Amino acid sequence: MLTKSLEDLMNDQIANEMFASNQYLAMSAYFEDLSLPGFARWFRLQAEEEREHAMKFYDFIHDRNGRTRLQAIGQPLIEFGSPLGVFEKALAHEQKVTAQINNIYATAVRENDFASQAFLNWFVTEQVEEEKNAQQLIDTLRLIGDRGDALVMLDRELGAREPGQEQDGAES
């Protein structure tokens, strides 16, 4: 059974993951407006992945005889300035999510909740991957600069991503 503090933090995380899903969908829409369908697809898949993360918390709460309490979700950003700006905001968001996951994990450690620690290990590993992918794309976009031909090539590469596949081809 979950403690009240872990149940509350995990319910907060459901809202955080759903916000992330909406934010990534807004980023996808931004790229649709720029006629960069590969970038748009990449972020749409990211949005779906974040919803899956929320459902993992939802299911875990119920598996541990807790109660899910859905919360309001904030308005996502819709203006980003540039493709690079989108990925910089995505990285900042992933760093925030990492801090949230780490906080939940630290609470599970303090409360000697080994089942929650085991569950959260997947998220800790996932966050390393998420931050790495965002940073690599930032680095690539900085190398590309204003070269439209390179941006179009990267757009095609990102558009080839399959559901459940990270940027480097590893399964999530």
CATH number of the domain that residue 25 is part of: 1.20.1260.10
- Indicate if the pLDDT at residue 169 is higher than 50: no
Residue 140 domain-assigned (yes or no): yes
Backbone angles phi, psi at 83, to 5 degrees: -55, -40
Across 77-85, average pLDDT? 95
> Which of 5, 47, 58, 3 has the alpha carbon at shortest distance from 25?
47
Residue 164 domain-assigned (yes or no): no
Domain that holds residue 100: 4-68+79-159
124-167 tens-digit pLDDT: 999 999 999 999 999 999 999 878 899 999 999 999 988 876 55
Residue 32 domain-assigned (yes or no): yes
Residue 148 domain-assigned (yes or no): yes
Residue 144 domain-assigned (yes or no): yes
- Say how far apart CA 138 and CA 31 lie, in whole Å: 15
Extract the runs of DSSP E, i.e. beta strands, from the chain: none
Residues facing 28 on adjacent strands: none
What is the rounded (10 degree) CA torsion for 165, 166, 171, 172?
-100
Residue 171 domain-assigned (yes or no): no
pLDDT at 168: 46
pLDDT at 166: 59
pLDDT at 172: 41
Residue 62 domain-assigned (yes or no): yes
Residues 57 and 10 sit within 8 Å (Cβ to Cβ): yes
Number of domains in the chain: 1
Residue 130 domain-assigned (yes or no): yes
- Say how far apart CA 89 and CA 170 lie, in whole Å: 23
- Say how far apart CA 26 and CA 31 lie, in whole Å: 9
What is the rounded (10 degree) CA torsion for 78, 79, 84, 89?
-60
User: pTM score, two decimals?
Assistant: 0.90
